[in-house]
Amino acid sequence: MEARERLPAFEQTVLPHLDAAHNLARWLAGNDQDAQDVVQEACLRAFKFFGGFRGDNPRAWLLAIVRNTFYTWLRQNRPAIPTVELDDAALEVADPAAAGEALQTRQADAETVRRAIAALPVEFREIIVLREMEAMSYKDIAILADLPIGTVMSRLARARKLLQKQLAREYQTGGPS
């Protein structure tokens, strides 16, 4: 099938999910300009390989392409970021009761939460964005990220603990640390 014959089906199938694609790319890349570059390249790849799409879940298919495009873009445009190994001690909140009380007495504004998510290592950030913002199932995230479902669940739990720790720290000190 020629490109102009594929275009209407591609537009109908993929374009409704561009907001989700841009959201994921923005969180992974850290800024709108790089996110736009990633999404544009991902859309070109999606169109090129649209003939191989089997119609199961176009949103997950597109987000997988965005994710893979981002990691390719990252290798080409940024120095290697070391992967963070975290043990259970690194995830402990100093005093969960005090942190919980502090969090209950103050509502986290969008900017504070955005900063905390942006500070997460990319492998945790992508999982939290896909699950909490894009409402993807563990199974879909596992397929998209090519990870075992247990790893997805573990990363999500660790990401949530890191967010809790960072937000508790910000509210105890009154600002970013």
pLDDT digits (tens, 9 = 90+) for 22-69: 999 999 999 999 999 999 999 999 999 898 888 789 999 999 999 999
Residue bearing the bigger pLDDT, 176 or 63: 63
pLDDT surpasses 70 at 174? no
Top pLDDT among 16 and 87 is at 16
Domain hosting 143: range is 88-173
Residues 17 and 53 in one domain: yes
Q: Establish if 125 belongs to a structural domain.
A: yes
Q: Specify if 37 maps to a domain.
A: yes
User: In terms of C-beta density within 10 A (0-12 exposed, 13-18 middle, 19 or more buried), how is residue 69 classed?
Assistant: buried
Evaluate whether residue 161 is within a structural domain: yes
Q: Among 14, 48, 77, which residue terminates a domain?
A: 77
- At residue 95, does pLDDT exceed 60? no
93 and 114, same domain (yes or no) = yes
Length of the chain: 177
- Higher-pLDDT residue of 173, 135: 135
Residue 93 and residue 141 in one domain: yes
How many structural domains compose the chain?
2
Residue appearing with tokens 């199938």:
13
58 lies in the same domain as 95: no
Is residue 3 scored above 80 in pLDDT?
no
Q: What is the DSSP string of 105-153?
A: HSPPPHHHHHHHHHHS-HHHHHHHIIIIIS---HHHHHHHHT--HHHHH
Q: Are residues 27 and 96 in the same domain?
A: no
Identify whether 82 is part of a domain: no
CA-to-CA distance for 160 and 120, rounded, in angstroms?
A: 10
Residues 128, 151 within the same domain: yes
Residue 95 and residue 50 share a domain = no
In a domain, 68, yes or no: yes
Give the residue from 77, 96, 113 where a domain finishes: 77
Domain final residue, candidates 40, 58, 77: 77
Does residue 108 have a pLDDT over 50?
Answer: no
**Separation of alpha carbons 122 and 78, rounded Å:** 13
